[in-house]
Chain A
């Protein structure tokens, strides 16, 4: 399997008011390699959920195609390889989490002791071990999200498609979820998830796919993007010039100079200049940069 997920020229339309067709996704192309963790980002209404639904075969593309684990999206073979967490689901209010997982497990083809064991293991993993016999209607939103996460992991799928995965989870729940997803990634599972929690994306993803108005804006490697967003600044005393090198260079009231740079390369060159001029280096600081700023700027550029 060369690609875990392939989306080619995907167009998804819905019937809007007065029967007019509304394009939710407009010719989207991207792919996810096996074992990759990809964050699927975009503002509200960008077409993320529609794309994920097309990937699971819940909506039929007006044109283009999607493949999951090498099989056409929505086919039984594709579904055998995929786990899915919907954006919002209430699950069966009159079933317990254990019965809910048993239902989904049986539909997945699991049975007997294997199913019972896996259901209990997953409920423990998502922190619902003690609540496995309470009816779903008595669970909080966060607990229901955990039921959803557990059902998505049933049958150890090769590909996980998670829509708004952190929705309703508290900080502890998010941390536990990250641990669960990392464990799945270490097992070789491919993850594609949408989230508005950019810190989760930053901590978990290898790559991001950013869309708006149903179109791809850009795909970025997360480590490369972090490097790009990282800002370094130095404070020195002396006559070294930073012209053409720094984003910002100014003299401070105490007679020292402040300079700010993008990327490590700029910092190294600045330090060489400082030492060559015989100036005194007082301080070096690194600022991680904000994914949120990047997100807002990227969306702004595309508008």
Chain B
């Protein structure tokens, strides 16, 4: 692995995300959030702090996840459409270096958008006079891990299908993984005991992105999540990213350009 190749590729993804105005959309959304929260404060709607916090983290989670899916699902297909892969791979870098660089760029661009949205939400909530509990910081950290995992899944999907299908599947997986798992659990429970292991296996293979979302707890002012849980989720995120990058590489390593 050529680590020197990763940053130039990632930087290129971030510059493109900024110049094609992906992040402008985020900035406008952030402004709307701030104005909305400011309006609530201006009209003196006290007692709605929990509602405002819930709305803030929901909007933050929703838009950052959509951006994560869209940014990562287009990376490799767009390179193929523009035929820019050949000049890149003519350099002394491996195909894995290229995948890693593009993935890191997608994650950093997503995190940048998330940071902008989070800052707007925080400013809006502060303007509304809503205090921050430490769990909000944990929410941000876990959400960033979740976004990295969503990016990896969408990135891998884009190598197996068309970019639009990858974006659709990515969204379904990002927003519906919990529901999908519950469906498999229920299906397993209603099946004969001999076939339950099959549903259990599928359920364990579906990435559980909802585990990284503690927005509801953050809005409700719950106590901090234990450090061991945060550690376990970090390991889980690493496993998802590793598995998805491996899948991407297996698909891409011999693909004719």
Contacts and interface: CB of A to CB of B under 8 A. Distances in A.
B83 A88 contact: yes
B6 to A, nearest CB: 10
Interface string A83-110: 1111011111111000100111011110
B16 A92 contact: yes
A226 to B, nearest CB: 33
A89 B82 contact: yes
B15 A79 contact: no
A27 B254 CA distance: 21
Contacts, number: 86
A77 B91 CA distance: 10
A91 B81 CA distance: 11
B135 to A, nearest CB: 38
Contacts of B232: none
Interface string B4-34: 1100110110011001100000000000000
| Interface range, B side | 20 to 34
Contact of A58 (B4, B11, B89): B89
Interface of A is mostly: mixed
A82 interface: yes
Q: Which of A80, A85, A102, A109 has the most CB of B within 10 A?
A: A109
Contacts of B82: 89-93
A32 B93 CA distance: 25
B12 to A, nearest CB: 5
Interface of B: 4-5, 8-9, 11-12, 15-16, 19-20, 82-84, 86-94, 254, 256-257
Interface of A: 14, 53, 56-60, 76-77, 79-80, 82-86, 88-95, 99, 102-104, 106-109, 135, 148, 151-152
29 contacts: A53-B256, A56-B89, A58-B256, A59-B256, A59-B257, A76-B93, A79-B92, A79-B93, A80-B92, A82-B90, A84-B86, A85-B87, A89-B83, A89-B84, A90-B84, A91-B82, A92-B16, A92-B82, A93-B82, A95-B15, A99-B15, A102-B8, A103-B8, A103-B9, A103-B11, A106-B4, A107-B8, A107-B92, A108-B91
